[in-house]
């Protein structure tokens, strides 16, 4: 496992054989499994909830990286913690009391992350950075897999990396999500990202191991 984590997003998997899909990326060298939860309100799409995630959890040793694209995420934190989440990430834009939600996640023994949309500045997480394990910089507008990477987000990744260095927060992970493939992975890593979510770039290919290897090789 390198210092750069690859987190395939099951949003792009074949839901009819989810267990096999998860096993395939685990064999293929994934570091985390990214679980995209959408509510049809915060984002214009619906996926799955803690029941489906709880069905996957016993099938894999991969840490489950839960990305909540939902309103009132605090109402679902206990259920996702119970279902086996390793990290729970909530959107800054969805939380009026962000500090409280972060601490709720941690009280459940789960690592806490905050995501920011492309239009949200890094300053939205500045005051809570000390409480976080991860910041997720959205590199597309959330809601769908297979969208094009937004190059303007690189500046925010750099800003966050600089802040992380200045504060000495070595433990803080910088995750990127959306449009990550062999062409964009080196750009985000150069900017400071160390967790790469990849949906289409992994599950859109018949050979998932080769797809993960290609992502890693693009970083050499």
* Binding site residue list for a divalent metal cation: 34, 36, 67, 177
Q: Which residues are annotated as a binding site for substrate?
A: 9, 67, 143-146, 177-179
State the CB neighbour count (10 A cutoff) for residue 107: 12
Alpha-carbon gap, residue 108 to 101, rounded angstroms:
11
Scan residues 178-217 and list those touching ligand DX5 (CB under 6 A).
Answer: 178-180, 197-201
Closer to ligand DX5 by CB, 191 or 197: give it: 197
Residue choice 9, 89, 117, 184 for contact with ligand DX5 (CB under 6 A): 9
Catalytic residue among 39, 133, 177, 194: 177
The residues, any chain, with a CB within 8 Å of residue 68's CB and separated by 6 or more, are 37, 76, 80, 88, 89, 90, 91, 94
Residue 118 as a binder of ligand DX5 (CB under 6 A): the answer is no
Q: Do 80 and 53 form a contact (C-beta atoms < 8 A)?
A: yes
For residues 82 and 147, which CB has a smaller minimum distance to ligand DX5 in the complex?
Answer: 147
Contact partners, residue 40, CB within 8 Å, separation at least 6: 46
C-beta of 140: minimal distance to Zn ion in Å? 9
């Amino acid at each position: 496992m390198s210092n750069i984590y690859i987190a395939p997003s099951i949003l792009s998997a074949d839901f009819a054989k989810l267990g096999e899909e998860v096993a395939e990326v685990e064999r293929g060298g994934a570091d985390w499994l990214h679980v995209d939860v959408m509510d049809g309100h915060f984002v214009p799409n619906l996926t799955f909830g803690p029941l489906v995630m709880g069905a996957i959890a016993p099938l894999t040793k991969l840490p489950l990286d839960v990305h909540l694209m939902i309103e009132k995420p605090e109402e679902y934190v206990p259920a996702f913690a119970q279902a086996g989440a390793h990290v729970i990430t909530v959107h800054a834009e969805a939380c009026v009391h962000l500090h409280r939600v972060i601490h709720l996640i941690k009280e459940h023994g789960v690592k806490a992350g905050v995501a920011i949309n492309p239009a949200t500045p890094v300053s939205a997480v500045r005051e809570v950075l000390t409480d976080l394990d991860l910041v997720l910089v959205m590199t597309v507008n959330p809601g769908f897999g297979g969208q094009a990477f937004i190059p303007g987000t690189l500046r925010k990744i750099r800003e966050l990396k600089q802040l992380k260095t200045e504060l000495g927060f070595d433990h803080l992970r910088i995750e990127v999500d959306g449009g990550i493939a062999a062409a964009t992975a080196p750009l985000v890593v150069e900017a400071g990202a160390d967790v790469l979510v990849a949906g289409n770039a992994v599950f859109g290919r018949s050979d998932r191991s080769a797809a993960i290897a290609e992502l890693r090789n693009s970083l050499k």
